[in-house]
Amino acid sequence: MSETSRWKKILPELLAVILCLGVLCVGVSLKEGYHMDELLSFELADARYNPWIVPTQPEGRLAKFVREEIQGDSFGETLMNLKSTVTDVLKNRGSSKLLSYKADVYEEPVWITSGQFRDYVTVDGSDAFDYLSVYFNVKDDNHPPVHFMLLHTMSSLFSGTLSPWLGCTINLICVGITLWLLLRLGRQLSEILGMEEQGRLLGILAVLLYGLSTGALASVLLIRMYCLLSCLCVALLSMHVEKWKEHGFDRSNKGLIAITVLGFLTQYFFLFYCILLAAVTAAGLLCSKRMRELWIYIRSMVVAAVIGLVLFPFAIGDVFSSGRGVEALDNLTSGFAGYGARLLAFARILADRTVGDLLLGAGCATAVVLAVVLWYRRHRGQELSMSREVRGILCMLIIPVVGYYLLASRMSPYLVDRYVMPMFPMIALLFALLLCCLGKRLAKTSGWKERLVGIGLMALIIVVQGLRLASYDGEYLYRGYGQQEQLAEEYASLPCICVYAGVGYYENLPEFMYYDRTLLVTAEELAERKDVDSLRMLDRVVVLIKPGVEEETVSSVLRERYGMEPEETLFSEGVHGDNIYLYVR
């Protein structure tokens, strides 16, 4: 095949991928603010040995120790300090200087400077590419480290910057790889299912269904590990399909092991999909009497598990003893009370983030009808053309997706889309496969009719998904937050008092990088504060009041206890529900 002919064959695939990535880039350009978990991602990735912002402890214990006891004026001095510390720990254990070191913990919240906030969520030259810091930060979280290390890499490449593009670029790369994998799966599945002439069409339909979905847009916009998780799940499926087709589970399993380890070190929900896919694969190999492949496959999965736990042993505690892990396990064992409502809630999320209620419902109903017809024909003793190889592939495609949905619906702490994001490309692939089967029956014969049906299906998907994207609900965009950042920049010379409930102040970290200094307090802490002088000496101060805080109470405390009166309302009902005022003495 000539180079020109090859480019003509792949041009539709290339255009489909470019269209999807272009639309997603437009979506990223509209993102202005962050979910608090997104800013927590930046802090875990970029704050040097300081995983949490605590108003009474601006600098963590380990961060203080590294600054005062490890970091030297030269690399050689730092290395010697590190060697002395390791020797001390090995010799004195619990009484070593490191393990007995104390942080500066204050009785009540203290002022935190704009520079300190900048250090929390950005990287400068001194802490760039410090992956050991990321590792120590996330060991106190409920997530493994791979995504945070990638985010730290982006922050290190663009030092001193906090921008949605840092995290969303990682997600765009992951979506790009996922789209390529969907094209690859289209060819792989078409060969196994006897649809060789429709391999490229199957891949393109899957790419358009996923890449132009609101689910792909949400996955790209959310700066967390779920887009990477989706990519690794699709990569794992593609590798299993290839090895199933080639009878290759008994050789060259390094890639399979690597993807499994990376998935485990990205998000623990990967285990839902991985274990289910492994179980289906093992059962298929057993039924097909491919015993050598079975034992080597099991060995490879065990090796992957060992490597993952050796690299991040804190995963055991995250899953079995952390608050989030215990909550998930309790949900799993809590019986069926409320399970139906959770299943329905996640079904609505899946429909909204893929192709819509009507199309997804029709697709599921069609698939069920086809399955019943096949079962009935087999029950009547009719010979079916479906081979054991084909049945094995269909089980790989369907059972892990259904199982993931059932487990995620049961164990997820919140009814939000992030926990089922890995299902979005899988549903797109299954829906594309169904469309190809129906399209083949409509065309009946190959040739121009089949090409016409294929073009019609692509056009229909572009129109339907385009209209759905146009009506995207705006989640993870936080449009309007840019005005709050501009306001903070305008009043950068003033201090800010942020009165919050819970840990809501995380949403506003970009603003605090501008104000001269910020005091993070609850309404009760403000009313009972002992250090009144630092507030009474202020002539002008910006007061940011978060949702859930009684504003009249705050205003009364500022007036009666600190002698301040509101002069101007600077911003009302921000995207996070914030109200911002200028108070003067």
162-173: pLDDT as tens digits? 999 999 999 999
* pLDDT at res. 383: 54
Task: Tell me the C-alpha distance between 520 and 109, whole Å.
Answer: 7
Summary mean pLDDT of the chain: 91
332 pLDDT above the threshold of 80: no
Q: What are phi and psi of 24, to 5 degrees?
A: -65, -35
Number of H helices, E strands in the chain: 26, 6
In a domain, residue 35? The reply is: no
Buried-state track 85-103, b at ≥16 Cβ within 10 A, e below 16? beebeeeeeeebebeeeee
DSSP-derived 3-state class of residue 141: coil
Question: What total number of domains does the chain contain?
Answer: 1
Chain centroid to CA 152: 15
Q: Which is higher by pLDDT, 1 or 235? A: 235
In this predicted structure, what is the pLDDT of residue 96?
Answer: 84
Instruction: Please report the pLDDT score of residue 330 as a whole number.
Output: 74
Q: Is residue 369 part of a domain?
A: no
| Measured distance CA(387)–CA(288) in Å, rounded | 11
Least confident stretch, 76-85, 146-155, 485-494, 574-583: 76-85
Q: Do the beta carbons of residue 238 and residue 432 sit within 8 Å?
A: no
Report pLDDT digits (tens) over 79-102.
Answer: 898 888 888 888 888 788 888 888
Q: Are 488 and 511 in contact (CB under 8 A)?
A: yes
What DSSP character marks residue 383? P
**Which of residues 442 and 4 earns the better pLDDT score?**
4
What is the per-residue pLDDT for 4?
67
pLDDT reading at 130 higher than 90: yes
Statement: residue 438 has pLDDT above 80: no
Any idea which of 47-51, 377-381, 444-448 has the lowest mean pLDDT? 444-448
Distances in whole angstroms, Cα of residue 260 to Cα of each of 282, 305, 317, 395: 16, 8, 20, 20
pLDDT tier at 578, thresholds 50, 70, 90: very high
Write out the DSSP string of 103-118. Answer: ----SS--EEEHHHHH
- Tell me the pLDDT band of 300, cut-offs 50, 70 and 90: very high
pLDDT at residue 385, as a whole number = 57
* pLDDT at residue 440 in the model: 67
pLDDT tens, position by position, 248-280: 999 989 999 999 999 999 999 999 999 999 999
Instruction: Answer for the pair 525, 555: CB distance below 8 angstroms, yes or no.
Output: no
Question: How many CA within 13 A on the CB side of residue 31?
Answer: 27
Domain assignment present for residue 161? The answer is: no
Axis-axis angle for helices 146-157, 164-192 (nearest 10)? 130
pLDDT above 70 coverage of the chain, percent: 95
Domain annotation covers residue 42: no
Count of residues in the chain: 585
Sign of CA dihedral 103, 109, 113, 114: positive
**Mean local confidence (pLDDT), 506-534:** 95
pLDDT reported for residue 209: 96
Q: Give the sign of the dihedral formed by CA 95, CA 96, CA 99, CA 105.
A: positive
* H/E stretch holding 159: none
pLDDT over 90 at 567, yes or no: yes
- Check whether 382 has a pLDDT greater than 90: no
Return the pLDDT at 448: 65
Question: 1 pLDDT exceeds 70?
Answer: no
C-alpha closest to that of 208 among 400, 19, 452, 66: 19
Rounded to the nearest angstrom, the gap between the alpha carbon of residue 164 and the centroid of all alpha carbons in its chain is 14
Percent of the chain with pLDDT over 90: 70
The answer as to whether 450 is a domain residue is yes
Instruction: Give domain status of residue 162, yes or no.
Output: no
**The two structure tokens encoding residue 553:** 């109470």
Q: What are 202's two structure tokens?
A: 């199957």
Q: Reduced to 3 states, what is the DSSP secondary structure of residue 160? A: coil
Residue 445's pLDDT is 54
For 197, the 3-state DSSP assignment is: helix
- pLDDT of 380 > 70? The answer is no
Minimum mean pLDDT among 26-30, 70-74, 371-375, 461-465: which range? 371-375
Residue 103 lies in a domain: no
**Domain of residue 451, residue span:** 11-15+167-187+199-354+386-470
Other C-beta atoms closer than 10 Å to the C-beta of 265 total 22
Please tell me which residue, 563 or 387, carries the higher pLDDT value. 563
61-67: average pLDDT: 85
Say how far apart CA 225 and CA 281 lie, in whole Å. 26
The answer to whether residue 249 is domain-embedded is yes
The whole-number pLDDT of residue 436 equals: 85
Which of 274-288, 385-399, 483-497 is least confident? 385-399
Is residue 61 within 8 A of residue 535, CB to CB? The reply is no
Q: For 145-154, 389-398, 525-534, which range has the lowest pLDDT when averaged over its residues? A: 389-398
**Mean pLDDT, range 323-328, rounded to an integer:** 71
d(CA 281, CA 295): 12
